[in-house]
Amino acid sequence: MNDLDQLVQAAQADFLQAGAPADLENAKARYLGKAGRVTELLKALGALPPEEKKARGAEINAAKQHVEAALNARRQALADAELASQLKAESLDVTLPGRKRGEGGLHPVSRTMERIEAIFGSMGFDVADGPEIETDWYSFTALNNPENHPARSMQDTFYVDMKDAEGRWLNLRPHTSPMQVRHARAHAAKYASQADMPEIRVIAPGRTYRVDSDATHSPMFHQCEGLWIGENVSFKDLKAVFNDFFRNFFETDDLQLRFRPSFFPFTEPSAEVDIAFSSGPLKGRWLEVAGSGQVHPNVVRNFGLDPERYIGFAFGMGPDRLTMLRYGVNDLRLYFECDLRFLSQFK
Ligand code: PHE
């Protein structure tokens, strides 16, 4: 092996040793740089006699080409390795299961509202909607609850320091009962004579407001008003409606209903409605679920109807409470905290 073959071999080995591009460039300088071994050999050519110069020059150039080839091969190998490790680091396993978008669902109270509407709908009740900012007249006066009457303090109403266009004080409705009057008046106004008027059978679910806040009361809560007015509608119909409703709502016949005498200015007689389950975790406990009563003649008059002819019942129940009972929720505040750990259980 002559000196040039040795040189090429040494260069190849040196280049292979270089583990990074910077090492490789240093190794290159040792052979091809200004003072590199190949460069030195070329410089030495000048000292040779002319007849040797040509052959020696060709040999050195051939060796130089081998050195350059080895250098380029190593450069490419290092670049390939670098790319491969980069690709590996950034690799993406497309076979992994994807991250799904969160799936939304109805709020438990909305579910209850829909359920109430569906069940009463199947019993022939319309669904009515009305304002949450009410006038004093609809919230109280029209409901046989005159100004300055102590019965007004049954509800801790949010009053608004403002009057409507007709000079009536505004409040956040403390119950859905104003909808009895709004709906009945609109219904009666549609018929030229009372003789043509079909019965009023309606529910009015919605938000209501009172100055109240603890585990079982929230300043904003829900109610569902019910009203059935006709020429011969009695308490026995109310009892039948409630019986059907609660059995349907809780999907059980294992349920008792109780009417407890009570007072509301807009009904006479009035009753609180309690239910009790005969089995399950709430077995045997009476739970108040609604207020109800036969609509007071003064209120029927405010409907624009003749109380000598029209009679019926009204009720108001609490969908928040019904939701707690149906799903076993023990703190009402969970409804409003927007905690997905709670809400996603109702998807
Ligand atoms: N409005 C009453 C309340 O909020 C409930 C009720 C409605 C009672 C209709 C009787 C008739 O407590």
Report whether pLDDT(104) > 90. Answer: no
* Residue 208 CB less than 6 A away from ligand 1: no
Q: Which pLDDT score, from 0 to 100, does residue 93 have?
A: 84
Report whether pLDDT(21) > 80. Answer: yes
* CA of residue 308 to ligand 1 center, whole Å: 23
Among 206, 229, 187, 210, CA closest to 129 = 206
* CA of residue 234 to ligand 1 center, whole Å: 17
Report whether pLDDT(220) > 80. Answer: yes
Q: What is the pLDDT of residues 265-310, one digit of tens each?
A: 999 999 999 999 999 888 999 999 999 999 999 999 999 999 999 9
State the average pLDDT over residues 190-219. Answer: 91
Query: What tokens does 95 get?
Result: 């076979």
Residue in this structure with the two tokens 């709670």, named with its chain if needed: 342
Query: Angle at CA 240, nearest 5°, toward 237 and 246?
Result: 135
Report whether pLDDT(153) > 80. Answer: no
* Residue 259 CB less than 6 A away from ligand 1: no
What percent of the chain has pLDDT above 90?
78
* CA of residue 291 to ligand 1 center, whole Å: 5
Report whether pLDDT(1) > 80. Answer: no
Nearest CA to ligand 1 atom 10: 292
State the average pLDDT over residues 145-173. Answer: 86
* Residue 316 CB less than 6 A away from ligand 1: yes
Q: What is the pLDDT of residues 75-84, one digit of tens each?
A: 999 999 999 9
C-alpha 78/C-alpha 16 separation (Å) is 10
Report whether pLDDT(239) > 90. Answer: yes
* Residue 294 CB less than 6 A away from ligand 1: no
Q: Cα torsion for 170, 112, 311, 198, to the nearest 10°?
A: 100
Q: Which pLDDT score, from 0 to 100, does residue 203 have?
A: 98
* Residue 315 CB less than 6 A away from ligand 1: yes
Q: One-letter amino acid identity for 154?
A: M
Ligand 1 pocket: which of 266, 270, 298 to mutate (most atoms <8 Å of CB)?
Answer: 266
Q: Which pLDDT score, from 0 to 100, does residue 96 have?
A: 87
Report whether pLDDT(154) > 80. Answer: no
Q: Which pLDDT score, from 0 to 100, does residue 188 have?
A: 94
Report whether pLDDT(192) > 90. Answer: no
